[in-house]
Amino acid sequence: IPATAVRLVSSTSLWSASRRFQSQGTARPQGYVPKTSLSSPPWPEVVLPDPAEETRHHAEVVRKVNELIATGQYGRLFAVVHFASHQWKVTAEDLILIENELDLACGERIRLEKVLLVGADDFTLLGKPLLGKDLVRVEATVIEKTESWPKINMKFKKRKNYRKKRIIVSSQTVLRINTIEIAPGLC
């Protein structure tokens, strides 16, 4: 038998064997979905914690934060306050430049009551949306009332003899944050 005939016979026998193998295992169960990259999302499935375990963990965290606040071992505090249509991240002795005039005299103390969050190195208390007035106290003093640098608004059209110049100077107020204090008990 020539070598070409052997090759032809062997390829034919492989083809028939593969057909026989496919005919035996083609029946798939009803509702079968092949496992591909699109059959399931690439991220792991979210497992929700046990509610009892979560309640216990929450109570433990609140106890630790209350303990830190009661002993005063939290270090330097920071707060995010909402004042003059802006949110400011402040710590004690910070200066805030507000782009409008407040109806206050220099040296007057004010209390910033819209506190969004307060925190230290070890913890952060978030308000939803604000923290209570009895929980956090942020005080500031008016340091300076001044005007901004002049802003020049110039309009010009060439060859039309059209020039307009407007100088804009806005009022500014500078506040110094005096203290950020937390009440001893959270819950």
pLDDT in the model for residue 22: 54
pLDDT in the model for residue 6: 47
pLDDT in the model for residue 59: 94
The residue that leads in pLDDT, 37 or 133, is 133
Q: What is d(CA 112, CA 180) in angstroms, rounded to the nearest whole number?
A: 10
Question: Nearest Cα to 110, choosing from 184, 183, 181, 176?
Answer: 176
Which of 13-22, 47-56, 153-162 is predicted with the least confidence, judged by mean pLDDT? 13-22
Exposure class string for 44-74: b at 16+ Cβ within 10 A, else e: eeeeeeeeeeeeeeeeeeeeebeebbeeeee
pLDDT in the model for residue 41: 79
pLDDT digits (tens, 9 = 90+) for 55-96: 999 999 999 998 999 898 889 999 999 999 999 999 999 999
| Angle ∠(97,98,99) on CA atoms, nearest 5 | 115
In one letter, which amino acid is 166?
Answer: R
CB 68 within 8 A of CB 123: yes
pLDDT in the model for residue 31: 76
pLDDT digits (tens, 9 = 90+) for 122-144: 999 999 999 999 999 999 999 99
Round the average pLDDT of the chain to a whole number and report it.
Answer: 87
Q: What is d(CA 67, CA 41) in angstroms, rounded to the nearest whole number?
A: 43
Which of 69-73, 136-140, 152-156, 176-180 is predicted with the least confidence, judged by mean pLDDT? 69-73
pLDDT in the model for residue 27: 67
**Is it the case that residue 24 has pLDDT exceeding 70?**
no
**Is it the case that residue 18 has pLDDT exceeding 50?**
yes
**Is it the case that residue 164 has pLDDT exceeding 70?**
yes
Q: Specify the pTM.
A: 0.68
